[in-house]
Amino acid sequence: MRGGKLERVLRRLESLEFYNQGAPRRLQSAMGRGRVPIRLNVNENLFVPREVTIEVARRAAESLDHRLYPDGIGKPLLEKLAGYLGVDEENIVLGCGCDQLVDLLITTIGRGGVCTVQPTYAFYRVRCALYGVPYRYTFFRDDLSVDVDHLLALLGSSDMLILCSPNNPTGHKVSREVIEGVAESFDGVVVIDETYAEFSDEQLHRMPLDFENVIVMRTFSKSFAAAGIRLGYLVAPERIASVLRRLQMPYPVPAFSLKYAEILLDMVDYFKAVWDEVRRVRSWFYNVLRSVRVPKFRVFESYANFVSVGIDVDGSYIIEELMQRGYLVRVFPDVLGHKTLVRITLAPKEILEGFVGAFLEVLSNAVREN
């Protein structure tokens, strides 16, 4: 390995925090032995049968000439999205998943500093570190409310605020009143990450029509069961959207993803039924977990497609024991006074019924060992 500049660059990059995608390294060895755990760790939509997605993919693939570049702005999809959202096409910007749009926003609007409320999606912090953008944050109170005074003080030295609502990993929503109040007081940009919006009882995607400094991000990954096509979008005031489109990379979304999403938007009635089922299962699962009698055990009310619980058990123990029983979950250390936050993706009831039995067994063993 050469010394000098290359060595310094590589050492700096190797020292950076990376985004943990949630799959334990031990998963690969388990899969190699033919045991594939049920993925309740990355909030994929397991309520849509794979056969439905295969048919959508077939129709999308057969309609395209894959030798050609896609429509650069995705005009046909923009038309359908505008109708679905009740906004103008000029308010929408497409991207390769919300994560790519987060990158775009940090490197354009947020260069002077990004602020968040913790705990929240770690990718914001990771990308700020990569680009050398100052990252500031306050914490949700124990009741998950926002200390608005502290937040506004931090925003005095920031260009952009990102609020995830419903929030990952807690599942709670930030009140519209708080968001509107901050948007009115802050002279920078407020970004609302609505990745889980369709599972909630409140949606904020039209707020950019009323506030010149509000942007809302969304994705097809969760609600439309299309994580594999990597397609996100944002709704913004027309002037901001115009600037972001000019600064976006060329052909940011593959033609296949554009066409796939068009077909999904023709199936909105089907997906509304899916979202209703997610909410029904979420209510049942929340109540089941609320009945658990374990010391220092808290179930967080969720408006997303997952439910999280705070426990006083080491996260690595939870992951290992549940994986041996055929389930993958996501854990976060030291969250809101809990040693571990366990985030569990919702799935059809028959899957979660099996999970509950395994989870209770793991918790019971942990309590005995302590």
What's the pLDDT tens digit per position in 142-193?
Answer: 999 999 999 999 999 999 999 999 999 999 999 999 999 999 999 999 999 9
> What tokens does 13 get?
């990059």
17: pLDDT strictly greater than 90:
no
Q: What percent of the chain has pLDDT over 90?
A: 86
Q: Tens of pLDDT along 237-271? A: 999 999 999 999 999 999 999 999 999 999 999 99
Q: Domains in the chain, start-ordered, CATH in brackets?
A: 23-43+269-369 (3.90.1150.10), 50-265 (3.40.640.10)
Closest CA to 175 of 208, 152, 204: 204
Average pLDDT (132-146) is 97
25: pLDDT strictly greater than 60:
no
* C-beta separation of 26 from 320 below 8 A: yes
The confidence score (pLDDT) of residue 143 equals: 97
Determine the Cα–Cα distance for residues 117 and 109; give it in Å rounded to an integer. Answer: 18
Average pLDDT (335-344) is 96
Q: In what order do the strands lie in the sheet with 338-345?
A: 298-299, 306-311, 338-345, 330-335
The confidence score (pLDDT) of residue 24 equals: 54
> In one letter, which amino acid is 38?
I
352: pLDDT strictly greater than 80:
yes
The confidence score (pLDDT) of residue 21 equals: 72
The confidence score (pLDDT) of residue 33 equals: 52
26: pLDDT strictly greater than 90:
no
Average pLDDT (313-330) is 95
Average pLDDT (111-119) is 97
Q: Tens of pLDDT along 193-209? A: 999 999 999 999 999 99
The confidence score (pLDDT) of residue 356 equals: 97
pTM of the model as a whole = 0.93
Average pLDDT score, the chain: 94
The confidence score (pLDDT) of residue 295 equals: 86
* C-beta separation of 191 from 215 below 8 A: yes
36: pLDDT strictly greater than 90:
no
Q: What percent of the chain has pLDDT over 70?
A: 95
pLDDT band at 16 (very low <50, low <70, confident <90, very high): confident
Cβ neighbours of residue 130 closer than 8 Å, sequence gap 6 or more: 16
